[in-house]
Amino acid sequence: MEKHLSPLVSAALGGGKGRIIVAMEDMGFGQDNIKAHVQNCQDNTKAQVQYCKDNIKAQVQNCHDNTKVQVQNGNDNTKAQVQNGHDNTKAQAKNIAGSSKQSDKIAGSPGRAARLKELLDLLRAELLS
């Protein structure tokens, strides 16, 4: 077997598809075996190239997906921050409105003051009569 290995190795090192086929024939391989071996090599090469292409596509798709997720996350965060700003503004406006009502209560509303004046006038009239 060693004497048959040498022509194959030298053909492989020397290059050329024809020299490899001649070396394989010298080793006793028939044309069908050589064709099958060459076809197997071509199929393996195609499969490896396809595998590489698929991996590249998958990685590119993953990058696109990650970018979309990051953009969406940015959009969601912006919306949340804007909504939070709106909510805070509404809450502050309510607090200010509430403060105005409290100051009315402390100072007394105009209707309440008028009612108290009426009661005092009635009481004074009763006492004087």
17-60 pLDDT, tens digit each: 566 666 677 777 777 777 777 777 778 888 888 888 888 888 88
**In the prediction, which pLDDT does 105 show?**
59
> In the chain, where do the E strands start and end?
none
Widest Cα–Cα separation across the chain: 147
Section 102-124 average pLDDT: 71
Q: Are 29 and 40 in contact (CB under 8 A)?
A: no
pTM more than 0.75: no
The first and second tokens of residue 13, run together, are: 């090192």
Q: Are 45 and 35 in contact (CB under 8 A)?
A: no
The first and second tokens of residue 44, run together, are: 């393996």
The first and second tokens of residue 39, run together, are: 């076809």
Could you give phi then psi for residue 105, rounded to 5 degrees? -65, -40
Residue 29, helix vs strand vs coil? coil
